[in-house]
Every structure is written in C-alpha cells, then in structure tokens.
Amino acid sequence: MNLKSYLDLFELLGTDTSSREERRAFGLVNVVTKNKPLEQLSAWVYENKTKLKKPALSETFSSTLYSMTLLISVIALLFGFLSGVGLLSYNGHEPVNVIYFIAMVVFLPLFTMTLTLFSMFRANVTQSMLVHISPAFWMEKILGLLPNKIEDNLKEVKINPLLANWIVIKRSQIIALAFSFGLLLALLGVVATKDIAFAWSTTLSITPEAFHHFLHTLAFPWRDLYPSALPSIELIEQSQYFRLGDKLSDEMIQNASKLGEWWKFLAFATLFYAIVLRFTMYVLSEFGFKKAIQRSCLSLDGAERLLRDMNEPIISTYANENEQQFIQRHTAYDQMINALDASYDVIQGWAIAKENLSVIADSMKVISPKFFEVGGGNTLDEDMEIIYHSRGEVLLYVKSWEPPTMDFIDYLEALVKRVDKVLVCPVGTLEDKYETEAKEVNVWARKLSMFGSAKVWLKV
C-alpha cells in the first residue's frame, strides 16, 4: 500500500456500489489474501481501479505533492548553498569562524531532528503543534493558492490526520536533506575555489584542550576511519583567534597552510550530522509513513465493512422469488341471522360427531328429528347419502376455529341443490361453551359471500 493506493481506496469506497455478493465473490476468488486485510484491500483497489474517474484523485494529489516537494526541495538546496557560501565567506582579512558552520551543520540538525522525533511520537494527535510548525506543513497552505481547478479537485481528499502528519514529517526530512546537501556543496565549492583561513573564536573561556575534547567527541563516527578529519590540538591552538585587532596574528599567518585543514572536519560533520543522520530520520519517517498508510487504510470509512463482506460467507435463508400478493376481498355478507329457530328439519355437524351435535343443539335449545355428522371421518359417498336424506331447513354446525376448506364448499354446493335453506352456525370449543370469536365468524362470512347462494345463511 502506498499513498496512491490509499487515495484510490478512499475514492473507490466513496463511489463503490458493489453488492455484498460481488464483494464476497471477490473474496473467494482472492482466497490467498484471506486474513491479510491490507493485501485484500490492495487487490480490491487494483481490480476496481478502472472504475475511477479520470484523472484519478490519487494522480492529481500525488503529482501536486511531488511537484510541490520538488520545488521546495530545490529552493531548500539553493538556500542551503547560499547559506553555506555566506557562512564561509572569507575576505582575506578575517579568518572564517568554524563555530558558525558547526552550529549550522551539527546543532541545528540535532535540534530539528529532536523535534522531529517528538512529532513522530505525537503524530496521531490531530492538532500536533510540532507538525504544524514544520516548513512542510506550509506546503499544504501553498496548495491552497494553486489555480482553482486543481484546488477544487483536491478538496475532495480527506486524508486521515495521522497520515497527513506523517506526510508532513516525511516531506520535512526531504527538504532538510536538500538544505544540508546545499551546505555541503557550498563547503566543497568554496574550499575548492578559495583558500580559506579557518579559525575558531568564542567569548567563552574555552581552552584549546577543552575545544579539542569537544571536537573529538563530535567526530566519534569518523575519527578512527579518517583521523585527518579531526583537527589536532596544535591546529586548534594555532587557529584560535581573538578579536583584538583587525589583522591576523603572526602565528596564524605563519601556519596559514595548516588552517585550511579544518575543511575536512566540517565536511565530515556535515556529511554525518546533517546528511547521514537526517537520512536516517527520513528512513524512519518513511517507515512511520508506511505504517500510517496501513493504519489509515483500515480506518477508512467503509474499509472494515468491505473486508467483512469479502471474508464472511453469505448466509441466506430467504425465499428466492417474491410472493404473489394475496388480495383479500372484503365483501359484506348480508345473509346473516342473530338467533336460531326452535327447530330445524335436519341438524348436521361438519366434522362434529353425532353425540356432540345433540349436546350442542341442547345447549342452544334447538330440536330436530335428524342429526348427522358430515365431512370429518365420513367418506364422500356417506356424505352424499346424508344429502339425499336431507330436506327443508338444515342447521349446519361448523367448528368456528377451522377455516372453511373447499371440501366443505363442495359439500355445501351439493346440499343447497337438495334443501330449501342452509343455516351455517359456527360454534366454539366446549371449553369456551361454544362461544365463537368475531374474527373466526368473519372468516366464514367471507367464504360464504364468495359462495354466493341465496339459500345459505350464517348465524352470527
């Protein structure tokens, strides 16, 4: 994962419309990347890259960032070079005080690198002051001054603050490196083209021995490899100069050829403190930047969902096709009565045993000479036989809780051809004292309304 793929992922997640099935299919095809979220995301970006609008946001952002970095690095290089030339400017009257240059190539880099280390530790804080004071941070501000079209394009980019901080830290190291190279170039250039008398001078009472000890410490990385790049105590003694007049001391003039030897120390100090250490910081920042990209990719809105969709099997239990919508017809049934007569020619019970029929009839104070169980356990022929013996008005008890089936309708159809009137009377269970529920009776009313016979009545 790099910055470009992070931005591509950011853009793709914002516009992606793929279904869970498509994502899962991708996960199954790229099964080797399972449990490696970054590789999975990277593969997904690669697969979907063609869906990005042209020019891709990542291209615009990266090229703008690259151009800006290059421009500022060139400026830093020039600035470093000019600073170096300025620090080493020698007019032939006054020696060049190496302490200025040492401060520039040793102490300034050490100070800024310490700040960089702090900012690395605090990189996950959105409003990190240390990051904000970095010169690279102001690159972002400069981006805002670019022509409107580019700016509008970049406004869409919402970079994770952690990553944004690391971008600034990394770019700062590049700029500092360029500046340091400028200093080294200046040193080498000036040394090659001029005969400079280096010296050292300070208001503090520092003895040459102490100064040598200090330089010896500073030169620890190269003093054993290149002993000549560490000024000897004699050279330090000879090159100490006091600002007591406007002329060089006689001793210095006598040892003029030796004073130039300082350049080796300055070159190695620049190389080690300003360039090698800075490069180490750059490598560290590159490492942190890469880690930040990885973490930021996983924190992107939608990334976690995408990974879940890729890795979790799709379990579905629902129907394949939509159900045909059932439309209930609410037809009012107007052949309803509220009370039963005292007697009927025949009493029948649909799936109600004969012995239960007489109990129900008694409880409702209804009498009849004939009781028959129909439906239920009867055969169709037995039902036909009963219909054959039926006449006049028939009271047909039905179980209110059992919805009318087409078997019942077939029977009713045959019965009404034979008799004058059928009164369908739903009854509840014995435990409910044959009381019915309104919703159960409504089911019967709806069915009878569909049956549509003038001879059929319903007791409610």
Partner 1 sequence: MMHPKFAVVGHPNKGKSSIVSALAMDDSVQISDTPGTTTKKRSFPLKVDGEILYELFDTPGFQRARRVLAWLEQHDVSADKKHEVVQLFINEHKDDPKFNDEVELLEPIMNGAGIIYVVDGSKPYGEEYEAEMEILRWTGQPSMALINHIDESDYSEEWKRALGHYFKMVRTFDPMNTSLEQHLSILESVAQLKEEWTASVKASIRLFEKYHEQMLDRSAAVISKVIYKSVSLVEKLTFYGEDATKDEKNRIEEKYKERLRALERSTQKSIESIWNHDHLQKEQQSFPLEGMDLFSEETASVFGLTRKELLVTAAASGAATGAGVDLLFGGATLLLGTGLGAVIGGVGAFFAFNELSEVKVLGQTLGKRYLEMGPMENRNFPYILLGRTVYHTTQVAKRSHAVRGVAEFHMDSIFKEKWLNDDLRKSLEKYHKKFRSGKEIEAEELAEYEVLIRDVLKYLI
Q: Which parts of this chain interact with partner 1 (CB under 8 A)?
A: 24, 28, 124-127, 160-162, 295, 298-299, 303-305, 308, 312-326, 328, 351, 353, 375-380, 399, 401-407, 410, 429, 431, 439, 443, 446-447
**Nearest to partner 1 of 299, 363 (CB atom):** 299
Helices 277-299 & 108-121, crossing angle to 10 degrees? 20
Please state the closest distance from residue 37 (CB atom) to partner 1, in A: 9
Which residues, in sequence order, are CB contacts of 116 under 8 Å at separation 6+? 169, 172, 173, 281, 285
Please state the closest distance from residue 3 (CB atom) to partner 1, in A: 17
**What is residue 336's three-state secondary structure?**
strand
Residue carrying the six token digits 């077939």: 410
**Nearest to partner 1 of 230, 360 (CB atom):** 360
CA dihedral (219, 222, 223, 226) in degrees, to 10, reads -140
Please state the closest distance from residue 45 (CB atom) to partner 1, in A: 17
Please state the closest distance from residue 120 (CB atom) to partner 1, in A: 16
Encode burial over 3-33: b for 16+ CB neighbours within 10 A, e otherwise.
bbbbbbbbbbbeeeebeeeebbebbeebeeb
**Nearest to partner 1 of 127, 205 (CB atom):** 127
Phi, psi at 260, each rounded to 5°:
-65, -15
**Nearest to partner 1 of 198, 350 (CB atom):** 350
**What is residue 242's three-state secondary structure?**
coil
Please state the closest distance from residue 355 (CB atom) to partner 1, in A: 13
* Strand ranges inside 180-308, DSSP E: 198-199
The answer to whether 300 touches 14, Cβ cutoff 8 Å, is: no
**Nearest to partner 1 of 180, 348 (CB atom):** 348
Helix (H) / strand (E) containing 76: helix 57-87
**Nearest to partner 1 of 99, 157 (CB atom):** 157
**Nearest to partner 1 of 54, 330 (CB atom):** 330
The answer to whether 236 touches 200, Cβ cutoff 8 Å, is: yes
Residue 187 identity? L
- What is the rounded CA–CA span in Å between residue 98 and residue 218? 14
**Nearest to partner 1 of 27, 80 (CB atom):** 27
Please state the closest distance from residue 404 (CB atom) to partner 1, in A: 7
Please state the closest distance from residue 46 (CB atom) to partner 1, in A: 21
Question: Which of 426, 422, 448, 429 minimizes the C-alpha distance to 438?
Answer: 426
DSSP of 78-135, one letter per residue? Answer: HHHHHHHHHHT---SSS-EEHHHHHIIIIIHHHHHHHHHHHHHHTTTSTT-HHHHTST
The answer to whether 82 touches 27, Cβ cutoff 8 Å, is: no
**Nearest to partner 1 of 89, 363 (CB atom):** 363
Please state the closest distance from residue 125 (CB atom) to partner 1, in A: 6
Phi, psi at 280, each rounded to 5°:
-60, -40
Please state the closest distance from residue 167 (CB atom) to partner 1, in A: 14
**What is residue 232's three-state secondary structure?**
coil
Q: 123, exposed or middle or buried, with CB in 10 Å at 0-12, 13-18, 19+? A: buried
Please state the closest distance from residue 378 (CB atom) to partner 1, in A: 8
Please state the closest distance from residue 430 (CB atom) to partner 1, in A: 8
**Nearest to partner 1 of 106, 306 (CB atom):** 306
**Nearest to partner 1 of 378, 453 (CB atom):** 378
Please state the closest distance from residue 15 (CB atom) to partner 1, in A: 19
Q: How far is CA 209 from the centre of its chain?
A: 61
245-253 contacts, C-beta under 8 A, 24 or more apart: 246/93, 246/94, 247/93, 248/93, 248/94, 248/95, 248/197, 252/95, 252/197, 252/199
**Nearest to partner 1 of 269, 310 (CB atom):** 310
